[in-house]
Amino acid sequence: MKKNSQLIVAKTIGIYLNFLSFLHLEKAKNIAYQLFSQPRKGKLKKDKLPKVLKTAEQETIQFNQDHIQIYSWKGNQDTILLVHGWESNASRWKKMLPHLKQLGNTIIAIDAPAHGLSSGKEFNAPKYAEFINVLAKKYNPKILIGHSIGGAAICYYLHKYSNDTIHKIIMLGSPSEFKIMSDNFIKLLGLNEKIQKALENHYYQKFNIDINAFSGHLFAKNFTQEALIAHDIQDEIVKIDEGRKYAANWEKAIFIETSGLGHSMHDDELYIKITNFIKD
């Protein structure tokens, strides 16, 4: 029932935006982009942090007009950076953390733009990649682990900034093609071609990226890091074909297909495989 009501709301918004596009295309495009880029959940309150984050050392880093919230669990000199996905926050790693802590590494988790305690209202992979770049320069992580669009942001970070000091990448349920995400949004709201083209032009003007060329698996052709890519065959949020594209193009990739984990990818057996991949 809830899913049906959400679909009705989405289609109603789409009808309004389609009508508005014939009167004021720029306004319709701006509203559509706002809906696409602003997470509806995932924010945290400092006085009501999840228990797992209360166990970490907390730090806020200023970057341009933004502040980036990080959480760290101290270990040895080798650092693992955790990069969560859309409408989430650093607490999503609570089930993986006990496994990672056994490695003895320092672990750092980030709140993405417009998520957790980080600032902002707008979220996108290029901006997320900028945040990753700031932390990579400051903490010099050897391992990056990303879930969902966090993995896509890692790929864009490696593509744009490059970093030979990073040894291994772990990606869980990560999308590759930005065009697919955009098209799914267009389809959900039932937006017309005028708005679709206006949005694609907006992406290009804002990020200097052709939406058709924003493909993580194509970026991966040039990556030298070892990678473990895991994706669930029953993932309804990001289809498994996205993971298969990464695996087919990433020269030093191990690909794991799971079943029954959905998009969350929470699983002790998988976490053991991840820790073994990091140790090897």
User: pLDDT truncated to tens, each residue of the chain (280 aa)?
Assistant: 556 677 788 889 889 898 899 999 999 999 999 998 899 899 999 999 999 999 999 999 999 889 999 999 999 999 999 999 999 999 999 999 999 999 999 999 999 999 999 999 899 888 999 999 999 999 999 999 999 999 999 999 999 998 889 999 999 999 998 888 888 888 888 999 999 999 999 988 888 878 877 889 999 999 999 999 999 999 999 999 999 999 999 999 999 999 999 999 999 999 999 999 999 8
Query: pTM for this one?
Result: 0.92
Give the CATH fold of the 45-177+215-279 domain. Rossmann fold (3.40.50)
Using alpha carbons, select from 132, 184, 134, 137 the residue that is nearest to residue 155: 132
Going from N- to C-terminal start, the domains of the chain cover 1-37+178-214, 45-177+215-279
**pLDDT at residue 183, as a whole number:** 87
Using alpha carbons, select from 151, 116, 131, 130 the residue that is nearest to residue 238: 151
The total of other beta-carbon atoms located within 10 Å of residue 131's CB is: 24
Q: What is the dihedral of CA 69, 119, 265, 263, to 10 degrees?
A: 180
